[in-house]
Amino acid sequence: MVRPVDACYSMSMKACDKCKGMLMLERAVDLEAGLAITVYACLNCGRRKPAEPEPRPLTARALAIR
């Protein structure tokens, strides 16, 4: 069984195009439009770029706390 810590560090990290900083996956949610998209956010400069081609509609299952 893989520990959660090992799973995080086994991925290759992406670098920001602007400042070469480290990118972290982040989920952006628009509650008014009812859409969510996963983006890469730079920890250094704050720049974001989409990890998915288009936003997805929110569902009750997506909002459930696990």
Tokens found for residue 66: 């696990």
> What is the tens place of the pLDDT at every residue in 2-60?
444 444 555 567 888 888 889 899 888 888 888 999 999 998 898 899 888 899 998 76
> What's the pTM?
0.63
Q: How far is the C-alpha of 65 from the C-alpha of 52, rounded, in Å?
A: 22
Q: What pLDDT, in 10s, does the model give residues 11-25?
A: 567 888 888 889 899
Q: Where are the alpha helices (DSSP H) in the chain?
A: 4-10, 60-63
**Number of independent structural domains in the chain:** 1
The domain in which residue 10 lies consists of 4-63
Q: CB of 44 within 8 A of CB of 15? A: no
